[in-house]
Each structure stands twice: as structure tokens, then as C-alpha cells.
């Protein structure tokens, strides 16, 4: 017997876990880029003379903003995954209760036929 809402729930959990992994990877890559840019900026001992060098500061700030956005998305995905897992656990408890009751009914019916 296929239960459509269960398939939907399992799909949402899988999607949330996959998205969480993607966001963590993107976050890691952006943090590495920020570290690289900050290192390059620290190596420069004199104030930037070229306009291009100012772009490094802007890039670092833009990447910091993007990292904060990704962290918010990771938190949202983690919340969704947690909610989906809680719903799955609730469903599992409900399913066990239904199974127990059905088995009890089957046992009664078998007793009646004997």
C-alpha cells in the first residue's frame, strides 16, 4: 500500500538534506575565498594606490554578505530537515499504533474463524 503523503514527506527530507549539503559546500568555498582575499589584503603593507586594489575590500565585503545569506539558508534548511524528521518520527509512531491495532483485529478474526 502506497501512502502519497509519506512519499511526499520522504522526498522533502531527501531534498532538504541534499540542499543542506549543497549550501554547506558553497559556504565552505566562500569562506576559503574570503580567507584568500583577506590574506592578499594583509600582505599589502601600503594603502592601495590603484582602484583595482579597492575592489578587494569590496569583494571581501560582498563575500561576507553572501556567507551570511548562505548561513541563513543553511539554518532554514536545517530547520526544515528537523521538522521533516519530526514529522517522519510522528508518522512512524502512528504507523506502529495502526499496525498493532490491525494485528489485534486480525488475531480476533482468526480466533473467530477457528
Give tens-digit pLDDT for 2-55: 567 667 777 777 787 788 888 888 888 888 888 887 777 777 645 555 555 557
Quote the crossing angle between the two packed helices 4-43 and 51-113, to the nearest 10°: 160
**Helix, strand, coil percentages, rounded to 5, for the chain:** 90, 0, 10
- 34 in Cβ contact with 60 (< 8 Å): yes
Q: Report domain extents, the chain.
A: 4-113
Specify the pLDDT at position 23.
84
Q: Which residue has the higher pLDDT, 6 or 109?
A: 109
Using the structure block, give the residue that is written with the C-alpha cell 549550501.
23
| Mean pLDDT rounded to a whole number for the chain | 78
pTM score of the predicted model: 0.46
CATH 1.10.287 fits 4-113, yes or no: yes
User: How far apart, in Å, are the Cα atoms of 74 and each of 1, 15, 67?
Assistant: 35, 13, 10
Amino acid at each position: 500500500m502506497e501512502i502519497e503523503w509519506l512519499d511526499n514527506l520522504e522526498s522533502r527530507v531527501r531534498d532538504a538534506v541534499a540542499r543542506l549539503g549543497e549550501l554547506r559546500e558553497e559556504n565552505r568555498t566562500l569562506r576559503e575565498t574570503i580567507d584568500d582575499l583577506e590574506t592578499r589584503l594583509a600582505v599589502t603593507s601600503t594603502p592601495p594606490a590603484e582602484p583595482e586594489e579597492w575592489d578587494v575590500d569590496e569583494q571581501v565585503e560582498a563575500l561576507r554578505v553572501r556567507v551570511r545569506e548562505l548561513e541563513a539558508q543553511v539554518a532554514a534548511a536545517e530547520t526544515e530537515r528537523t521538522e521533516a524528521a519530526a514529522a517522519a518520527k510522528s508518522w512512524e509512531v502512528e504507523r506502529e499504533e495502526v499496525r498493532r491495532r490491525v494485528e489485534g483485529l486480525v488475531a480476533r478474526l482468526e480466533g473467530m474463524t477457528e
